[in-house]
Every structure is written in structure tokens, then in C-alpha cells.
Amino acid sequence: MTPIGLAKCALLLSGVGFAAQAQDFDITSQIGPDPVLPDPVYVSLSPDLNVAEVVGWAEGQTPQVPEGLTISAYATDLVNPRTVHTLPNGDVLVIQSRAPEGKPKYRPKDYIRGWIMSIAAGGGQGPQQDSNLITLLRDPNRDGVVDERHDLLTGLNSPFGVAWIDDTLYVALADAVVSYPYTLGDTAIADAAQLLTPLPGGPLNHHWTKDLALGPDGTMLYASVGSNSNAGENGMEAERGRAAIWQIDRATGASKPYATGLRNPNGLIFHPETGVLWAVINERDELGPNLVPDYMTSVQEGAFYGWPYSYYGAHVDERVRPARPDLVATAIAPDYALSSHVAALGLVFTNGSALPEAYGNGAFVGQHGSWNRDEFNGYKVSYIPFSNGVPDGMAQDVVTGFLVDGKVRGRPVGVGLDGTGALLVADDAGNTVWRVAAADGRVSEAPVETDRVATAPGAEPTTPPAAGSPEPAAP
């Protein structure tokens, strides 16, 4: 029997496809700064798995939004759109990508997980269209409708994050950050990529998505590198330089760990008022359906956030050996829990947008959705209100309808603001970018670019190190 056949048998024996009885647990108790954390389940004879079939969007179907908002398809016929990035002139870049091929499988669980991911991604069994490209969308009259579409770059190595400054486009690939000369308004890039700095990559490269953010002073880039395992089971040598956010000098390519102990960080973005770096983090699995909550957090320079030795501060993961009580003692608890296994991948702040006042000061989070709990969680875009640069209130479901009757129409990933100040949502299973705007048609006075550089290059950074933070301590 083939490895995939064995995986299918194992899934059937473990009860996949038949959702377990609902846990008597209120998932809203895990949303906010102080989540409820039940006891971990270290041994389970019946894994908590529930994989939703991807059926796509039928003609005329769209996600749902509350009163006061309207939603439409901004771009369709894309191929695995993961992130969106708005340039200073209002042009929107859509980064489309698939996971790198050739990832080695060391254990039966790796085959099982691969089959699960193929179901969750959708796309059918036929020939797949080319992905791993960056497409430019242009709306020159700012009416919320794309008038021009151009493929800027193709044949990339699983791109995810981008940044732009000084006529240079930076792209985070699965194993490096590269740069291209690019002048705003151009519709093609002909120059070859220039290596800025390598990043931890294959051949394993378990969490391959590498996000990218430009620092507020314009001199530094920040790249995310996810872990090479769930909780260190591939050995800590495989985690060298991973589960971290790296700071990269644009001028020299010199890099160093900025923060560590972050299992799978994505959605890197600086708060436009405070200049503080924020991210959303996918936490570990296989401790039960209600552990561990994914989260949104500010990222302090030099801080350690626990992975793999602990979660939410000093909650020790007893599976990890040898233990590191010295690191656990320094672990920082994150700012805001999003509940367990929602797979948060996108984050954008709404300051300066053209959305209604109710969404004018906060953050949207794209939740890709669970596969590793008995009851589905995520599959939506939520809004978290902020006050004085920090979360202040309960998360609200804003863009929903991606999961209906156990069938997946789409899965939200990256979020951003388009050139008119409306919300954009990249849907990698529905191959669409959705646009969510104010129902009254208002637009921002000017485009709200993703990289909001506050000061000229060479000025003092606006993100000081946190007082008392421990030195970077990569596992």
C-alpha cells in the first residue's frame, strides 16, 4: 500500500470525517488578554481532527458582512492568493504561492498531515495552474474596481511577504529575502533578483511562509520564520534560527534575531501610531481541541515567547525534552488570545481607513480555519478594537460565510487596505481577493500604504527595546 493509502487508513481508523461530540467549552473564554487554558491532553486515542471539504464559491456567492458594509470580489481567477500589499500610489500587490515541493516525511504522521492539507487546500485532482507569482492590481480612478492587472514576477520560490521603499521591492521567499529595482507605476519587473539575506529554509521547511514588514524608520526589515515542527519533535537542531522574527539591515543584509519562541508568526505590521511591531501567531497542536490558543501580540525586541518549552508564559509543555526552566522563566505572555486552532495568518490596522467609525481604530485578523479540533473554529475575519495602541474589547466577527454546513467556500489569509481605504481579504481556497467597503461609498483622502514609514531613513527608530526584556534566546 502506498504511503498515502496508509495515511487514509490511519485517518479512517482514528475517526476523521466524523466529528467528535462537541466539547462543553466556550471558545469565547479564550478570546482576549486572559484566556482560559484547560489542562493539556498529552495522550489521545482518538485525535481531534475534522477536515472540511473545499467546494468554492458558486456564481453570485460572496462572504457575509454586517450592516453598514458591502462586499464584492476585487480580483478573481487568482492562484492561492496569500497576502495583499498596498503601495504608496494605491496599487495593490497580490502574492500567490504554494508550499515548496520535496518536503521530507519522517513519520507516519507526516503523510497523514500532508493528505489533510491537500483536502483543506482544495483545488481538485486535475492539473494545477501556475502559482508562486506577484500580481499588480490597479484602480486609478479609485472607484473600488480593478481596471488593470499585471503579473510583476513569476516563477518565485514560494513568496509570501513583501515591502517597498526607495524604488526597491523586497520579497520574502521560502528561504531568503531578495530585492528588485521597482519604480512605482511600472507594470513589469525585468531585473534579476538580488539576494539581501538568506533565511532558514529546506529541505524540511515545515512552516514555510515568511512574512515581511518595513520598520517605521525605513532602515530595517523584519522577517518571520516559523518552526520546523509542532513542538520540537524533529530535534532542536532543526529549529536553528526558526520560530523567530529576524531584523534585517536593508543597507548591508546583516541580520539578527529580534524576538524568539514564536511558533509560527505571520501578519507582521507596525502600529501606525505607536511604531510597535505586532504579529499573529499559530500556536502548537496535539494538546487537545482547546489548546493552545493562537494569538495576536506586540513583539518586544529581545523577548522570548515560550515555544517550544512553554505557552502563554510559564505553562510548561511536558512533551519537550530536555526541559528549559531557565528559558521558561523569561517567557512573555502574549497580548491577546484568538481561541484555539483558528490559524490566524493576516493582520492589518484600520487607522486612516475609509471604513465606518465602528471599525476605525483597531485591527482586522484573517483566520484561515481549523482542521485539528472536533468542532470547526476560525474561517472568518474578525475585528479587535484598540485604544491607545493596545487591544481594548471583544473580537467581533465581520467577514463570515467562508464555512457553511461543514463545506468550505473559501479560507481567509492575509488582510490589508486598498488604495481607497477599504478592507481587502486574500482567500487562498476561493482564489479571490474580496473588498469590504463602507456601504455609503466613502473613500480615504489618499491611499493608505501598507508600509507606513514615519521618519526619514537614518532617524532614530520609533520602536525602542522593551525595558527589562531578556536577550534573544533562540532554542
Q: What is the mean pLDDT of residues 163-176?
A: 98
For residue 465, is it within any domain? no
Please give the torsion angle defined by the CA atoms of residues 157, 452, 261 and 83, in that order, rounded to the nearest 10 degrees.
-40
For residue 71, is it within any domain? yes
Confidence label for 43 from pLDDT (cuts 50, 70 and 90): confident
For residue 360, is it within any domain? yes
What pTM did the predictor assign? Answer: 0.89
Give the residue among 82, 83, 85, 61 at the shortest CA–CA distance from 71: 61
Neighbours of 342 (CB within 10 A): 30
Confidence label for 373 from pLDDT (cuts 50, 70 and 90): confident
Give the mean pLDDT of the chain. Answer: 89
Q: Which amino acid is at 144?
A: G
Residues 290-322 have pLDDT tens digits of 999 999 999 999 999 999 999 999 999 999 999
For residue 1, is it within any domain? no
Number of domains comprising the chain: 1
Query: Is the per-residue pLDDT at 345 higher than 90?
Result: yes
How high is the pLDDT of residue 466? 34
Residues 434-459 have pLDDT tens digits of 999 999 999 999 999 999 986 433 33
For residue 16, is it within any domain? no
Q: Read out DSSP for 181-194? A: E--TT-S---SPPE
Q: What is the mean pLDDT of residues 410-418?
A: 98
* Domain hosting residue 316, numbered range: 56-438
Residues 266-291 have pLDDT tens digits of 999 999 999 999 999 999 999 999 99
More confident: 78 or 102: 78
For residue 393, is it within any domain? yes
For residue 247, is it within any domain? yes
Q: What is the mean pLDDT of residues 412-416?
A: 98
**CATH code at 121?**
2.120.10.30
CA distance 391 to 201: 33
For residue 467, is it within any domain? no
Q: What is the mean pLDDT of residues 105-115?
A: 57
